[in-house]
Amino acid sequence: MPGEACEAGPSHPSLYSYFIAMGFSKNIVEKAIKKNGEGNSEAILETLLTYSATENPYLKNEDGPIESIARNYVDGLEDDSSDTDDFDDLEFIEAPPGRDRNLLTLVEMGFSAEEASAARDRCGLDASVLELADSIHAAHMAKDSHGIVLGSPIINKPNEATFYSTSRKKRILMEEKRKHRRNSHHGSRRSEYLKKAALDVDIPKPMIGFSLPFQNCIKRRNLPDSALGPPYFYYENVALAPKGVWDTISRFLYDIEPEFVDSKYFCASMRKRAYIHNLPIENRFPLLPLPKKTIQEALPSTKKWWPEWDNRTQLNCLQTCTASAKLTEKIKKALDDSGDVPSLRVQEYVLAQCKKWNLVWVGRHKAAPLEPDEIEMLLRFPKNHTRGGGIGRTERFKSLGNSFQIDTVAYHLSVLKNIFPDGINVLSLFSGIGGAEVALHSLGIRLKAVVSVEISEVNRNIIRCWWEQTNQKGTLIEVDDVQKLDGGNLEKFMRRIGGFHLVIGGSPCNNLTGSNRHSRDGLEGKDSSLFYDFFRILDLVKCIMGKKF
């Protein structure tokens, strides 16, 4: 495999703190380093992962934040985990000793046994764990992009992809034109210009961003001075927005190239999003343990009922709406009526509905929508994060559907851990149910102060409950509307807490997403235009930080 630059572990100044930062306990890291010597980070990682297979995995001692999250997470899975399936895999791997321990390590890292052994076949017996992990990712991507040659340095390809297909000058000119026309005409013809407007941002395939866990960085980037912090910022929205939207967003956010990432590389469900941020992209690390990436592993109880002809291994995007009971009844009836093996026609119908509504198999002929706690698990929120406190079931689905996938966001934010060892002050815009806060907390980054802006009262309640239950020692300031934030009250907040280290948020997507048949009005839509408030507030914060207030 290609040994390109910017590898995470080995070059790091302090191996010890690096592995601690990954979430391993001090004791285990000490043991592992003693055993392998400081020079061999790969062997250390392997030892760490092996230890955690037998001992309690990845948990920090004391009252570390990772502990509580991980425990909730594990608890949530315990109920339905049928031990028989996993056992087979382990036995298969444990049988041959020696080098094949690499396979066990890979499975611990979250890969399947088949993937692991296939990777070993490709890379040879002497391949290291990281090389094997790299190879598996490469294989995934090759599968995605429909048969790019295996084993070649695929990950170097997107490096060369040009972000701006036209020059900056030309783009700005076109935007001016667009604006001009928008002013002189109205609604009905707007979609026409949008169609004509060139799409300048290329959406990369596969949608893996600048890097994935246990993989070399794909690109290096030099941000323009105007983009640099303080503060750091992080903006998120749907990747497949109407044409020109990401071009506009990018231009407002200091011409930074969006990072397009599908969360299917982090968990068992898809989530195609783009993130614009000015964070460093070297030395990222993922939350551990890595989530299971297939439906059958993440929801083991479904395995038993999964029909042969349903070839799904991952779920579609988790949405705000859920399938009706009527629909699942129809599906059951259709299958009941068609005997052992349903006809191709019935299969097609059922499969289409399953894909459309993200149904999973929970019994014979019983397809069902995901339960809220399962969605919480897939997005990596603590179990029952959105439960109780006066929130209804429908609202729960809606709030979850609008949220971050924690693993994905945390991976990007992980670089903050070493930059701010004492913790950070966060301005969280469009907080929702607190995805940003949970991600930072899960990384073990202390939240010194959080100003959380969220319009929905139930969502604010959820964040406050979480804040109390995780025994946060910092300050939580709640604001109900981004439009109420101006230079005056921002400066007051910043005086009080000492400025912001991170401004983070994802503005409403409802006018951008393809699911919306009624008001997909683009960035100028009623809700999605709140993006401009994100920019406005970020710029204000930059200004005030610059003045040293």
Contact footprint for DNA (CB under 7 A): 146, 191, 194-195, 199, 203, 205, 236-240, 242-243, 270-273, 316-317, 319-321, 324-327, 352, 355-356, 392-395, 398, 401-402, 430, 506-510, 512-520, 527
Residue 523 has what DSSP assignment?
G
Rounded distance between C-alpha atoms, residue 293 and residue 313, angstroms: 8
What is the smallest separation between the CB atom of 245 and DNA, expressed in angstroms? 9
What is the smallest separation between the CB atom of 399 and DNA, expressed in angstroms? 10
Rounded distance between C-alpha atoms, residue 409 and residue 261, angstroms: 10
DSSP secondary structure string, 381-412? PPTTTTSSTT--HHHHHHHHHTS--HHHHHHH
Phi, psi torsion values for 161, nearest 5 degrees: -60, 130
Residues 6+ apart with CB under 8 A from 343: none
Rounded distance between C-alpha atoms, residue 40 and residue 128, angstroms: 11
Direct distance between the N- and C-terminal alpha carbons of the chain, in angstroms, rounded to an integer: 50
Phi, psi torsion values for 254, nearest 5 degrees: 60, 30
CB atoms within 10 A of CB 19: 24
Residue 290 has what DSSP assignment?
P
43 SS3 class: helix
96 SS3 class: coil
Taking the least distance from each CB to DNA, the nearer of 285 and 361 is 361
Q: In this structure, are residues 234 and 226 in contact, taking their beta carbons and an 8 Å threshold?
A: no
Q: In this structure, are residues 375 and 435 in contact, taking their beta carbons and an 8 Å threshold?
A: no
Count Cβ atoms within 10 A of the Cβ of residue 30 and give its class: 0-12 exposed, 13-18 middle, 19 or more buried.
middle
Beta bridge partners of 273: 238, 261
Taking the least distance from each CB to DNA, the nearer of 20 and 370 is 370
The residue written with tokens 């590898």 in the block is 7
Distances (CA, A) of 215 to 31, 153, 210: 25, 12, 10
Rounded distance between C-alpha atoms, residue 31 and residue 47, angstroms: 9
Taking the least distance from each CB to DNA, the nearer of 326 and 547 is 326
CB atoms within 10 A of CB 325: 10
Q: Of 469, 391, 387, 463, which is closest to residue 431 (Cα–Cα)?
A: 463
Q: Tokens for 205?
A: 């395939």
Q: In this structure, are residues 260 and 283 in contact, taking their beta carbons and an 8 Å threshold?
A: no
Q: In this structure, are residues 384 and 373 in contact, taking their beta carbons and an 8 Å threshold?
A: yes
The residue written with tokens 């993200």 in the block is 358
Q: In this structure, are residues 472 and 434 in contact, taking their beta carbons and an 8 Å threshold?
A: no
Taking the least distance from each CB to DNA, the nearer of 131 and 454 is 454
Q: Of 19, 507, 539, 542, which is closest to residue 236 (Cα–Cα)?
A: 507
Catalytic residue check, 6: no
Q: In this structure, are residues 154 and 137 in contact, taking their beta carbons and an 8 Å threshold?
A: no
What is the smallest separation between the CB atom of 69 and DNA, expressed in angstroms? 21
Taking the least distance from each CB to DNA, the nearer of 101 and 272 is 272
Taking the least distance from each CB to DNA, the nearer of 108 and 236 is 236
Q: In this structure, are residues 351 and 309 in contact, taking their beta carbons and an 8 Å threshold?
A: yes
Given the residues 217, 267, 354, 509, the one annotated as active site: 509
List, by residue number, the catalytic residues.
509
